């Protein structure tokens, strides 16, 4: 991660990725790997160069899980900015 990014973005990014870990725990490794990870990667490739990927339900779900986890565990979280870390999907992006 570039050192010149604002701290809020750096912490939010780490928390977002932790949200994906929470998804893996919730869905199980097999479903996470075969469905969630696959569709997230496909969505990233399809929407390369746009901001649509951040609104994919998989990404917004990871944001919501991270926000809930960090506020409940540590009484603080940096993934609060819905502009950078949306919690509700704008697009329904599931690809077979």
Q: What is the pTM of this model?
A: 0.75
Residue 34 pLDDT grade (very low, low, confident, very high; cuts 50, 70, 90) = very high
Domain borders along the chain are 7-74
Residue 94 scores a pLDDT above 50:
no
Tokens describing residue 38: 């696959």
Residue 95 pLDDT grade (very low, low, confident, very high; cuts 50, 70, 90) = very low
Residue 31 pLDDT grade (very low, low, confident, very high; cuts 50, 70, 90) = very high
Give residue 96's pLDDT. 38
Rg (CA), the chain: 13
Compare 67 and 18 and report the one with higher pLDDT.
Answer: 18
CA distance 36 to 30: 10
Give residue 76's pLDDT. 62
Residue with tokens 């919730």: 26
For the beta carbon of residue 43, count every other beta carbon within 10 angstroms: 22
């Amino acid at each position: 991660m570039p050192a010149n990014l604002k701290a809020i973005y750096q912490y939010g990014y780490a928390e977002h990725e932790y949200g994906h870990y929470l998804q893996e725990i919730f869905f199980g490794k097999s479903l996470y790997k075969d469905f969630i990870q696959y569709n997230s990667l496909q969505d990233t490739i399809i929407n390369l160069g746009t901001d649509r990927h951040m609104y994919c339900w998989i990404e917004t779900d990871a944001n919501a899980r991270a926000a809930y986890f960090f506020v409940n565990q540590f009484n603080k979280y940096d993934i609060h900015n819905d502009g950078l870390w949306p919690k509700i999907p704008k697009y329904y992006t599931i690809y077979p």
